Structure 1
Amino acid sequence: MEKKLCVIGLGYVGLPLAHAFSKKYKVIGFDINELRIEELSNGFDRTLELSKEQVEEAKKNGMTFSNKLEDIKDCNIYIVTVPTPVDSKNKPDLTPLIKSSATIGKVLSKGDIVIYESTVYPGVTEEICVPELEKTSGLKFNKDFFCGYSPERINPGDKEHTVSKILKITSGSTKEIADVVDKLYQSIITAGTFKATSIKVAEAAKVIENTQRDVNIALVNELALIFDTMGIDTNEVIEAAATKWNFIKLKPGLVGGHCIGVDPYYLTFRAEELGYTPNLILGARQINNAMGKYIAEKTIKILIDNDKKIKNSNILVLGVTFKENCPDVRNTKVIDIVDELRKYGTNVDIYDPWVDLSEEKTHFTHELMAKNPFELEKKYDAIVVAVAHDEFIKLTKEDYKSISNGKEILIDIKGILENPDWRL
C-alpha cells in the first residue's frame, strides 16, 4: 500500500519533518491554526525553520496544508507533533495531545498507524492517547490500528543539525509495526535510527535527554552563584576545568524554551504519582528557575554601587527569545528578569529584532520596542544583554555608550561582551 502521511502540528517540529518526508512521500500538513495554514500555503514560515524556497520545494513535491478534517481522511500514517507544555503549577498539560488524538480518531481506518513525536512521560502513548483513539474511532488497538513513538530532536534555529541529520529513536506497538516505523524514518534520516525495544523505552529516553541537560546546567548555575560570592569569574574556572578530557563544558545561564525547562516536569509528575520524590531533578528545576531573579537583583546592586537612583531608572533588556537567532519566545526566562526589575520601580524596555510583534501577546503581556533603541534618543542607566543574537554580538562599546545615561553599566548574561560590569 502506498504511504500517505499526515503531520499534525506544523510548528518547530512538525513543519521540518513534513518537509523531509515530502521528498519521499505524499504529505499533508495539518494544523488547527487557520492563519498558519494560509501563511504556509503562501510560502511563509513564521518560525523561520524553513526558508520560502524550502516551503515551495515541499509544495512542488506535492505537499499540501490544511485545517480541514476531510482532507486527511485518506491518509494511512498520522504523525503527531503538537506541543506538550506544563500549566501554571508545572503539571503536564496533555490537552493538545488528547485533542489531536480525538481528531485522528475521527478519520482513522483499519491498518492505519499513528506515530507520536511529542515529549511525554513513559506510558502516555499507550495509556492516554490510545484510549482516545479507540473511543473516537471505534477501532481496536493492535488489531485494527497501530501506534509508534519517535521522539523529536529538533533544535530550533539550528540550521546545521536539521531533522534528517539527527539520529532518530523509533518504536512501535508490535514488533512488526516497530520495523515499519523504523524503515519509514530510515528513508529520510541520513544519520540513521535506533529502534527501541518498546514505546515506553522510547518515551523515557526522550524525557531524560533534556532532564540530564537540565541537571547539568543547574550544577553550573549553582557553581556560578557560589563563585560570584567569592569574587571569582565562573567562565575562567570552567575554561580551566575543561582542560580535563572528561569534563562536561557547560556555561551558566537561563534555562527556558519548550524542552529543557519543561520536559523534566513530565518525568517528576509521573514519579510523584507513583510515590517517588525525585529530589535531584526538582532541585535542579528550582535552581534554574531562580536565575532570572538572581540576575535582576545583581543588576540592582550594581546600580546602587554606581550611585544610580533605582526608582524610575531606565533599564534596557536586549533579547527576549529563549535562545539566540531564533524567534521562539515560549517559556522564555528573560521575562523573569524583567518582572523582578520592575518590582523595584524601574522602567524596563525590551528589544528583540527576532520577535514578531504581532505574536508577542500570545506568550506574555509585556510590550516590546518596535524600534531599535540604538537609533533613538532615550538613555539607559543599565543594559542587560540577555540573548546572544548576532545583532547584539556585533555591537561595540561605543554603541552601548551612545545610549547610556552617564557611565555605561553592562550586565552580560551570555558572555559576549568585553569587560562588562557583571557577567553571569
Structure 2
Amino acid sequence: MSDTGDDQRQPLWRQREYMLLWSAQVVSNLGSYAAGIIYPLLVLAITQSPVIVGWVSALRILPYLLLSLPVGALIDRWNRRRVMLVCDVGRAIAVGSLPLAMWAGVLAMPQIYLVAVIEGTLLVFFNIAETAALPRVVPAGQLPQAAAQNQVGFAGAAIAGPALGTWLFGTLGRGLPFAVNACGFALSAMLLWRLRTRFDRRDAAPARDLRAEIAEGLRWLWHERLVRDMALITGVSNFIQAAMPLLLIVLAKRQGASEAQIGLIFSLAGAGGMLGALVGGTVRRRLSFGQVIVGTLALQAITFPLFGWAGSALALGLVFGVNQFVGPIYNVVQFSHRIAMIPDGLQGRVNSSFRLIAYVLNPVGAALCGVLIEHGSALWAVAFFGLVQVLVAGAAWLDPVVRHCPAGPAGAQVGGSGGR
C-alpha cells in the first residue's frame, strides 16, 4: 500500500505512486506490443520458416517455465522497485542491440535467439515484481479498479503498438521498431525511479531456504482450489493465445496483406481489448465470478472458427477484436479476485506459482502453431486451437468452484485463506 494515507481516499488517477507504476507499464508495453509483431515479421523475412518463427516466440516465453518459482521467492525477499528498474535497463540494452546489429549489417539468427531469451528472462522478474508491488501502491478496496485501469493501459498499448511497429518496419526500416522498444524500456525505468513507496520486505524475519519458501507458495496455491483451478484454466487459454500472433500473420500473408494491414489486424484486436477493459469493472460488479469466466471463454470458443472463414485483413481484424474483447474482462475478474486473497508476504511466491502454471504451455502453443502451419496449413491450426478453446470453456463450466464463485473481489476471504 502507498505510504501516503491521503492516497487511499483519492481516485486512482490522482494517486502519484500508482500512476507512475501504471505509466511505466504502459510505456514499456507500447514497445513490447510493437516488437511482438515485428519479431515474427523479421524472422519470417529472414528464414521464410513458420517453424523457426514459432521457436523464437517460444524462446521468449520459455524462461517462465524455468524461473517462475525461484524468482517468486526472490521477489518476496528483494526490493520490488529495484528489480523492475534493473529489468527495464537490461531489456533496453538487449533489445537495443538488434537495431545496432542491423545497421552494422551483422545481424544473425543466434543474436535474435539470445535477445529473445534475455528479454524473456527479465520479463519474468519484472512481471512478478510488478504484480507483487501493486498492493503496496493501491489500497485493497481499489485493487479491482486498478486491475481494470491496468487492462485499459494494456489495451491502449495493444492498439497503438502494432500499428506503430508495422508502420516503422515497412516504411522506415526493420530496426526502428526495436529501437522504439528499447527507448520504451528506458523511459519506463525513469518513471519507476521516481517512485517513493517502500518496496522492501516489511517483516524482519530472516530468509529461509529458497526451496522451503517456494514450497510454501506452491502449497498455498494448491490448497486454494479456486486459485489452483483458475491457474489451470488460464494455462490452457494462454496456450491458445500464444499461437495467435503467428496464426494471424500467416493467414493475413496468404491473403496478400501488407505489413500495414497486418498492423491493422492487431490494432483492431487492441481496440476490442480496450473496449473490454473499459466495461470490465461494470461487468465485474453485475455478474458473478463464474458467469464472467465461463461466459468469456465461451465467447472466444464461438468466435474462433470465424478466423478460418474471414476473407480479408479487415475481417480477420474484426474477428480478432471480438475475440480479444473478453480477455481484459476475464483478466480483471480473476486477477483482482486472486490478488485480494494472497497475503502480502506471499505475493511473489503465489503469483509466480500461478504464472508458472498459466504460462507453462505457451512455448508449446507457439511452437506447435508453426509446426501445424508448415506441415499442414493455417486452417489446420485454426481447427486444432479452436477445438482446444471449446474444451477449456467446457471445463470451466463443469468446475463447480469456478461456476458458483460469487461476484466481487475475495477480500473477505483473506483472513480464512491466509493461514494456508
Same fold per TM (> 0.5)?
A: no
TM-score, structure 2 normalization: 0.26
Q: Which has the higher contact order (CA 8 A, sep 6+)?
A: 2
- Whichever structure has more strand as a proportion of its residues is 1
- Whichever structure has more helix as a proportion of its residues is 2
Find the structure with the greater CA-based Rg. 1
